[in-house]
Amino acid sequence: MRLVTLLLMASLAAPLPAVAAPQANPTAPAQAAPGPAPEPAPIEEPYPQFGLRLAVGAPDGAVLSFVYSPLYWFLLDAGFAYTLAPGFVLGVEFRPIDFFISPIIRGEYGYYFAGNTADQIKKWVGLPEASWPLIGDASYNWFSGLVGIALGSRRGFTATLEGGIGYLSLNVKGGSTTSGNATITVEPYKVAAFTPVARLSVLYFF
């Protein structure tokens, strides 16, 4: 009985066998470490829609205009003009290529109010002063179509050179003068003709 007790105590005192840890399978594919997250694509800034333009030309004169461009290839402008009298110019413009160099197709309408235009015309054509009262104040308006080229950035400064043909109407008020015992009266009249047109301008978008 004492022998059985000793065997039982010896079996309880013996250490338990260690459980082997699971070994990695050498044939299993290694998992790659996660890389950095891809950067988001940069968001392109929209084209500016508003700008100011300074232009000189014939028959435009000097023009300071406000430009609105809802699309990069389509522009509308309206401006104050001055030559021999104040006036205004309205234009629509197409720029089909978004590049540093772009062709231009333009249509415009302009009007100059009556002023001292007639006085200058009398001097230019060499009319005798006795006939000057027969010619009153004059105004003129025109329609024109132009093609040209633009150089510069659609997001900043652009210089343009354009040329084409226009239809110009000179509207002259009549007048009257007395020669001896006779009074000569001239009714208002209009002179219209096709004429070449040209423009040089600088445009800034903001």
Read off the pTM. Answer: 0.71
Residue 24 lies in a domain: no
Residue 38 lies in a domain: no
pLDDT band of residue 30 (cuts 50, 70, 90) is low
Residue 70 lies in a domain: yes
Report pLDDT for 161: 98
Number of structural domains in the chain: 1
pLDDT band of residue 10 (cuts 50, 70, 90) is low
Q: Yes or no: say if 167 and 109 are a contact pair by the CB < 8 Å rule.
A: no
> What SS3 class is residue 31?
coil
What is the domain extent for residue 173?
48-205
Q: How many CB atoms lie within 10 A of CB 192?
A: 13
What are the contacts of 88-93 at 24+ separation with CB within 8 A?
89/55, 89/60, 89/63, 89/65, 91/65
pLDDT digits (tens, 9 = 90+) for 84-143: 889 999 999 999 998 999 999 999 999 999 876 667 766 766 666 666 676 778 889 999
Residue 43 lies in a domain: no
Residue 66 lies in a domain: yes
Residue 121 lies in a domain: yes
**Residue 136, domain CATH:** 2.40.160.20
Residue 7 lies in a domain: no
Taking 90 as the threshold, does the pLDDT of residue 152 lie above it?
A: yes
Residue 80 lies in a domain: yes
